[in-house]
Each structure stands twice: as C-alpha cells, then as structure tokens.
Amino acid sequence: MKHHRSLLPLLLWGSLLLSALPALAAEDTKDLFAFDDFPLEEPLSHPDWFKHSFLDLQEDLADVQQSGKQGLILYFGQQRCAYCKMLLQVNFGLSDITAYTRRHFEVVAINIWGIDEVTDLAGELLTERELAQRENTTFTPSLIFYDEEGHEALRLRGYYPPYQFRAALEYVADRHYQRESFPDYLARADEATHFEPGELNEESFFLPPPHNLDRSRFPGERPLAVFFEQGECHACDVLHGQPLREPAINRLFQRFDNVQLDINADTPIVIPDGRRSTAKQWAKELGLFYTPSLLFFDEQGNEIIRVDSVVRFYRLRNVANYINSRGYLSEPDYQRWRVSNAP
C-alpha cells in the first residue's frame, strides 16, 4: 500500500508535441512543483517583448492580423503572484518558448486589480478589474488565447510547467482547436509516451469506492472534494508529499468528503447530479487535462471552484478555507475573498 512516493524526476513528453523543447534535466525540473507560493515581496515586471498596448483589444487584434501572427494572448496577472513569476521567469525563461510565442502571438498584460480602461474585442469599455471578473480569472496567471479572427481558442487557469505550456502554444498556433479539444490533443501525446499505470497516492481521508456522489436528491452533510489523479504523476507526488502533509491543510481536508479518481480509469461512478458515468468520461466532460485536479462541490452538488493547475501551500490552504468558511456564499469571486480574508 503506497502512501506517497519521493519526488521522482519529471517525465517529459517527447515525440508528438515537444520536439522543439529542450529536455530539462531532473535537477532543473524538481523546483517546478516545489516553489514558495506566498505573495512576493517585490512586484513583478513583464517581459519587455510583451505588447505595449493601449488596452484597445480591437486594435491589438488588428495588429495580429497585419503581422500575420496566429493569435492574441491576454495574460491576466498580479504583481505579487508567485505563480505568475513561474510563468514569466521559468517558462518564458526558456528561449524556445519565448521565440515561439513572439513568432506566433501578441501578448497583452491585464492587471486583475487594474483600473485602466480596456476596450474588449466586442467594443465594450470596462476596467481591467471588471474584465478579469467577467472572464472569471480565478487563479493567476490566467491566459485567454484568441485566434487571428478574434475567436477564443483556449483558456489556461493557473501555472502549468513548460512542457504543457509549450503544447498549449502549439495547439493554438497550429489550429488544432478547430479539430479537437485540448485534453484530446494532450491525450495523443500520452499515447505516444505510454507508461504502465502506476499506483495512486493514498490519504486516510479518501472515501473508499464504490463512489455514489449523487447530491441531487439528498444533499450531503459536508462539502465534496474530488481529486482527479493518475499514476506516475510527479505533480501528484508533490501534492501528497508536501502541501497535504502540512497539519493545517490536512485538518481542513478532514472536514470534506474526499474522493480520489484515476483520470484515465473506467471506474464506475455516480456523479453529483445523479448521472451514471465513469471517472474517465466525467473528467472528459469536465474538460480536465492536468493532474492533480481538485474540484470542490457544495452540499447540493454544485461546483464551487476547481484547482486544475500547479498548486502549492498558500493557494491550497486559501481555497480550502474559502470552502470551509462558506466564503463563496457571500463572495463568489475567490480573489476578492482572498484579499479580504486570507492571512
């Protein structure tokens, strides 16, 4: 019976998506999931190659079209966000990612707390903060990719390591979004680098199968947390070996009904709205592609919030507190709740 593994070297994808991305040594990759995510002491600055925009997104899109690039990326960030720092300094610190992004996209930065006026792609005038709230950029960095015609092609919520971020860039630039979903695109890479499924990490607070999560007829007594994971998952190992080992975070999760699902398994399950499904089908329906992904539901089975990108101590504790305190009832915007309530 496995509890949690040591921090194994990160398994990088090779043949399908990442031929242009240099392999990162294990020594370089271990910190991708082990950084300090507390607010930064010094504010971030954007790369000087980000577009110097007047925040008229219609004009920015016209520049994309005139330059022959494949799209416009809106980067929603915060000045003291550790996850934003990882994107800006780690991902964009790789010369091939920077060169590829600059070749195919214009990048416009949006401060989620900003008061500067933005003209959106439909011509509506609103502040940066209003735009961020409307677009539900719950976790920073959030990126919205638009193609050269102004159609949304992809959204990324939170920080993703370089190999998945590079895949996202290629997914949009090569117009794969016109033919398949991003999870399906990534699944083809998984098939190309297939490994035998490994064991999942275990926690004492996980409820045993079979899993009947139906809350449509009879509400649950506690909030529900669903962990979508897979074997041979380095990020899953880090979650179980570090944040979930912190006593304060562990105690918070003891107050949930917690269920662990293998994102690739055909395990039968009754989902919160009462329908029968499997873990794999439900994950596909939810649009999940990253493991671990944590989804939180209220007693009636309504999804409250999800964490489907890299997560560390500070963010995980805040999200768990947000659910346990029922802060979402008075403040549906997680970021505004965090600023008002988190230590």
Residues 150, 51 share a domain: yes
- CB–CB of 214/301 below 8 Å? yes
Predicted confidence at residue 31, as pLDDT, reads 63
Predicted confidence at residue 143, as pLDDT, reads 98
Predicted confidence at residue 24, as pLDDT, reads 41
Residues 187, 216 share a domain: no
CA-nearest of 60, 197, 57 to 134 is: 57
Q: Give a yes or no: residue 266 inside a domain.
A: yes
Residues 251, 126 share a domain: no
Structurally, the chain folds into a number of domains equal to: 2
Q: Taking the model in full, what pTM does it have?
A: 0.89
Predicted confidence at residue 196, as pLDDT, reads 60
Q: Which residues in the chain show pLDDT less than 50?
A: 1-28
Residues 175, 72 share a domain: yes
Q: Give a yes or no: residue 170 inside a domain.
A: yes
Residues 222, 187 share a domain: no
- The amino acid occupying position 240 is H
Q: Give a yes or no: residue 254 inside a domain.
A: yes
Determine the straight-line distance between the first and last CA of the chain, rounded to whole angstroms.
37
Choosing from 141, 157, 192, the residue where a domain stops is 192
Q: Give a yes or no: residue 11 inside a domain.
A: no
Residues 226, 181 share a domain: no
Choosing from 162, 192, 222, the residue where a domain stops is 192
Q: Quick one: three-class SS letters along the chain?
A: CCCCCCCCCCCCCCCCCCCCCCCCCHHHHHHHHCCCCCCCCCCCCCCCCCCCCCCEHHHHHHHHHHHCCCEEEEEEECCCCHHHHHHHHHHCCCHHHHHHHHHHEEEEEEECCCCCEEECCCCCEEEHHHHHHHCCCCCCCEEEEEECCCCEEEEEECCCCHHHHHHHHHHHHCCHHHCCCHHHHHHHHHHHCCCCCCCCCCCCCECCCCEECCCCCCCCCCCEEEEEECCCCHHHHHHHHCHHHCHHHHHHHCCCEEEEEECCCCCEEECCCCCEEEHHHHHHHHCCCCCCEEEEECCCCCEEEEECCCCCHHHHHHHHHHHHCCHHHHCCCHHHHHHHHCC
CATH of the domain at 269: 3.40.30.10
Predicted confidence at residue 2, as pLDDT, reads 44
Predicted confidence at residue 55, as pLDDT, reads 97
Residues 259, 137 share a domain: no
- For the stretch 38-48, pLDDT in tens is 999 999 999 99
- For the stretch 124-174, pLDDT in tens is 999 999 999 999 987 899 999 999 999 999 999 999 999 999 999 999 999
Whole-number average pLDDT of the chain: 90
